């Protein structure tokens, strides 16, 4: 990509899209789906977001692609990114492209980090505003890659996570 990031106002249809996709994933995976979570900005009511629903799927071993990719492919998901150096992360997308399915292994600390961040933003209006301001500022800049935008948000995410770990927020 080249250019700014598209952010849109919160859409109440996002949780329904998540539930539909979670059901599709559960049907495809059965008990191999150890955990499914709606994460990212679309999981936080009232927060602006890129119109892409992020879903985390936890499996026994995300490096064992034969253990889950064929089932997800049958459900319409296509493997797009393989990052063995980052928590054995895999990213799959359906053809429509409005969902990112992030696959991690059991006990991956990144899953807990993502869920803590989501839960804290849901509970803290002030930190939600802090994050939204940062997102809007960064989204207006031109980016060569989407990951560059994500990386640029790291500092504010770490600040918010520190408050989440301590039980505080920007307004306390």
Question: pLDDT tens digits for 40-97?
Answer: 999 999 999 999 999 999 999 999 999 999 999 999 999 999 999 999 999 999 988 7
Strand, coil or helix: 52: coil
Average pLDDT over residues 92-104: 94
Full set of structural domains in the chain with CATH: 13-166 (3.30.460.10)
Cα separation, 134 vs 157, in Å, equals 10
Residue pLDDT, tens place only, 1-54: 566 788 999 999 999 999 999 999 999 999 999 999 999 999 999 999 999 999
Phi, psi of 55 (to 5 degrees): -125, 135
Radius of gyration, alpha carbons of the chain: 16
Q: Output the pLDDT for position 146.
A: 83
Stated as kind and residue range, the H or E segment containing 36 is strand 35-39
Nearest-CA neighbor of 13 among 43, 55, 57? 43
Structure tokens at 45: 């009511």
Query: CB–CB of 80/74 below 8 Å?
Result: no
Q: Output the pLDDT for position 121.
A: 98
Cα separation, 91 vs 84, in Å, equals 11
Q: Which residues of 63-101 are buried (b: 16+ CB within 10 A; e: fewer)?
A: eebeebbebbeebebeeeeeeeeebbbbbbbbeeeebbb
Q: Output the pLDDT for position 164.
A: 96
> In the predicted model, is pLDDT for residue 171 greater than 90?
no
Is the pTM of the predicted complex or chain greater than 0.95?
A: no
Q: Of 113-122, 144-153, 159-168, where does the model show the most confidence?
A: 113-122
Q: In sequence order, what are the beta bridge partners of 79?
A: 92
Query: CB–CB of 54/42 below 8 Å?
Result: yes
Q: In sequence order, what are the beta bridge partners of 78?
A: 93
Q: Output the pLDDT for position 172.
A: 55
């Amino acid at each position: 990509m080249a250019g700014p990031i598209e952010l849109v106002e919160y859409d109440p249809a996002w949780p329904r899209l998540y539930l539909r996709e979670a059901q599709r994933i559960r049907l495809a995976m059965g008990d191999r789906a150890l955990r499914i979570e709606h994460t990212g900005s679309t999981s936080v009511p009232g927060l602006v977001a890129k119109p892409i629903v992020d879903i985390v799927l936890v499996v026994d071993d995300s490096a064992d692609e034969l253990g889950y990719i064929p089932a997800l492919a049958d459900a319409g998901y296509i493997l797009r990114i393989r990052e063995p150096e980052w928590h054995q992360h895999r990213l799959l997308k359906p053809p429509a492209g409005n969902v990112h399915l992030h696959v991690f292994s059991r006990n991956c600390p990144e899953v807990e980090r993502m869920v803590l961040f989501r839960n804290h933003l849901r509970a803290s209006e002030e930190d939600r505003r802090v994050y939204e301001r940062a997102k809007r500022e960064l989204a207006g800049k031109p980016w060569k890659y989407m990951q560059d935008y994500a990386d640029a948000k790291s500092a504010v995410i770490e600040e918010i996570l520190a408050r989440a770990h301590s039980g505080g927020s920007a307004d306390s």
